[in-house]
Structure 1
Amino acid sequence: MDRAMTVTADIGDDGLAHVTLRRPAAGNAIDLATARGLLDAARACERASVRAVLLTGEGRSFCVGGDLREFARFSGGALEKHLLAVTDALHDALRTFAALDAPMVAAVQGAVAGAGIGLAAAADVTLAAADASFTAAYTGIGYSPDAGVTWSLPRLVGPKRALDLLLTNRRVPAAEAAAIGLVSQVVPTGRLASEAARTAGALCHGPTAAFGATRRLVAAGLTSDLTTHLDREARALAAAASSEAGREGVAAFFEKRAPDFPPGT
């Protein structure tokens, strides 16, 4: 299938990018076309300097992981080569999204498994419908994880709980996912789309550069020593305060009004 049909990236005039997985009949499983479609979408967001990204999956499930039907068509060295092509594209997409200043919101529903967990975990704000459930699934079929799952899960839920989820493949309902920090919030299934749009829209009108600095600081802080990190924070704060967005934010505070952050600041 044409990768332009499996993933779409609709970027509005306001800078909000709607990135949608569009393989509902396959549970939005990630085949090679979808992985490359995600990379195309990430690069489109990068080129457009978007202000926020909303990631969704069409249909009953957000993403059930890798497309095993496609993988089963290969064996031996051909399978290894194919999986490397899939993961190269998928991982490049994740790296590109992570490098944006724009924050990402993910709205997840139904089954979220394998690489679907990696996509959900890659978002800065992950909203889960009440009907969502999460299953690592990899080791259940003799695979090891991809999509950054072994990097993100320990950071979100702790290494002990991450190993529990990855080794036992137990099903985690939405309420538990929120309780352990895998998702940000659970919302009623019928309100998922509207709540995700509201959240992404609010972020879209925020100080994009400050959001980017904050994303990078949080990521770096997990592996930095305190002294290095404090210096990094100080430099980032000084740059933000002297920026157009920083000046507008402070002016709005003193004038007791909502700030109007210009695009690109």
Structure 2
Amino acid sequence: MQRFPSDDKALSLPETAFELCQYLGFSEIKQVQWAWYELSGAVLSRYLFDEELRYAALLKWFYQDLGFCEKAEYFSREAADLGRCLQSRQGNSTTLATALMLLGQELDLKTELILLPGTTVMSCQLAGEIHYVDPLTGQSLNREQLHALVRGELGNWAPMKDNYLKPASAKQVLTRMLHELKAGCIIERKFESAMECCSLLLDWYPDDLNLHRERAFIAQQLGAIQVATADLQYFIDNNPHDPIVELVKMQLQELGEETQVFH
């Protein structure tokens, strides 16, 4: 049975993000809920009749008055935790953009998240025109700058695809958060938590071959050789023509030489 529903309609922001991080043992839901209630109540004082002035007031309040900014340890687990971001007012592009989007919605602004490769930006529709903002700085972004972000992640050859600018669903945002939490855990060598992040993602995307390969790596760090072996074999069986399959077969052979350690 899935620990969290896979139906997008059953997922919500920020509630599900708070629940996920408490489930993973990263933050206490009551504390982060109070931080959210305080911010979502305070932002209403920026409710101006003119929509464009309201948007400008939101950005000034968020970045200048409250001081939300990029966390120095950008790839850390804490930067990827939405609750921690609300409390410390520091985060990565996804947590900052999510906080800004949600506060914009409290002001009846048409704010949404755009999941570019490697980074997240916020969009806001004003008078029929879409405005994009860099969540790390609060600065406006044009299409050329958005393309530069894509090229920075994928290489100079990468085109700017229209689907990159499609607004993200709650499930897509939560998926990115879980990937970023997992990456932070791996960097900090918290492999048990990384394994749980991977398992939660596999609840939602059981056929994702790359997730199975990632879980195999994490399981190996934990000494769970049987789990790692099963995931690598699943990758090979379901992706026999992938260019890296020979490398995966070598990994599988090496695992067969290791001793199972139970945790």
Q: Same fold (TM over 0.5)?
A: no
Asked which structure has the greater RCO (Cα within 8 Å, sep 6+), the reply is 1
Larger radius of gyration: 2
Q: TM-score, normalised by structure 2?
A: 0.31
TM-score, length of structure 1 as denominator length: 0.30
Report the structure, 1 or 2, having the larger strand content.
1
